[in-house]
Structure 1
Amino acid sequence: MSYDDTTSQYIRGNQHKLFVTWFVVYTFIGIFCGWLGGIVMLFLFAGQKEEKYQKFILNNFYDNSVRSVHTGDTISLKKLQIFSLQPIITNFDSSPKDWLRLDIALICKDIPDKVFLETLHQDIMAYIRTVSIKQITGAQGFRYFKEDIEERVKLRSQGFVSSVIFRTFIIA
C-alpha cells in the first residue's frame, strides 16, 4: 500500500464522518429553531381572539367564494345546506378496465328535491363515461375535470347549487 492510497482512504473516511456530524448538527439546529418559533408564536398571539386567526388564515389561503362560505362574511352558514350524492362508480368508455369512484357533496341554497339530486348524479356519471383517463391524469387534468363537473352542475342547477365538494376520487 502506498502513501497516496492510505491518505485517500483516510480522507474519504473523514469526509463521511464529517458529513454525518454536520448533518446531525444542522438537524438539531432546525428542530430547535422550529420549536423556538412555535413557542414565540404561541406567546405572541396568545392575547388575540380566534376570529382574527381564522380571518388571517382564510384571507391568505382561500379565494373569496370559499372565504364567504367559511367565515360567513356575505353568506350565512345557516342558509346553506350540504347534500351528498350517492357514490358514482363507473368505468371509462375509452378504457373499460379502469374504474372510477367519485363521492361528491353539493352546497345548496335550499333543500333540493330527490329527483333533482338523482338527475345530477346521472348527468355526472354520463359525463365521466365520456372522459378518457389520460384527460384526468395529473394535477392539471384533475383540476380541469373538477372545473368541468362544477360548471356542469351549476348549469344544470341554474344557480341552486353554490359549490361542489369532491370527497373521494379513486381510479383503479
Structure 2
Amino acid sequence: MSVAKRRLLAVTAVGLAGACAQWAPATAGAEPTQETPTEVASAPTADVLHNITYRARVDGVSRGATVTYRAEGDQLQLATPTMVPGRVFEVNTVLPASQTANLRLSIDWPYSANLHCEILIDNAVVAKADDFIAPRVTPQREDPDYGSLTCQAPVGGIDDITPTEAPAPPPPVEAGIPPA
C-alpha cells in the first residue's frame, strides 16, 4: 500500500471516528470529582396557551361583512367572508393567558342585519353578543362603530370553567302537593 493511500485511510478513519463521537454518549471519568451541591435551575415560565374559537354570524341581507380578530403572536387578522343568513364564520387560534380575545364584526352601509358573535376559550362560551343594525338613509359619520358588533373576554380570566360541585337535586314532589 502506498504512503498516499495510508495517509488517506488514516485521515478518513480519524474523520469517521470524530463524526461518530458526536452520536456516542459522553462518559464520565473514572476518578470521582469533588462533590458540589447541585441546583436545578427553574425554566422561565411561559404563558400557558389557551384554545380560542371565534364565531360570527350575520342574519340578514348585507354585503361587505368584515371580521377582525386577535390571533396568535399578538396579531390582528382580517377576514371578509361571504355571509348569507345562517352561515357561521368560525376560526380557531391560541392565545396566552395574558391576552384579551376580541372579535369585531361589521357590515357595510346601507345594509341592515342581525349580528351575532361568540368567543369560546377552551371550548367554553365566555362572551356572546347580539345586535340589530337598523337600515339608515345616510351613513352614520358621527358614529364610526355603527354597523359593527364587538365581543371580547380576558383569556386568563377563567381559571376553572368546570363547576366545583354538582348542584343540589330538587326536592321530591309529593303527590297532590305543589312545590313551594
Q: Same fold (TM over 0.5)?
A: no
Greater helix content:
1
Greater strand content:
2
Please report the TM-score for the alignment, with normalisation by the length of structure 1.
0.26
Please report the TM-score for the alignment, with normalisation by the length of structure 2.
0.25
Q: Which protein shows a greater Rg? A: 2
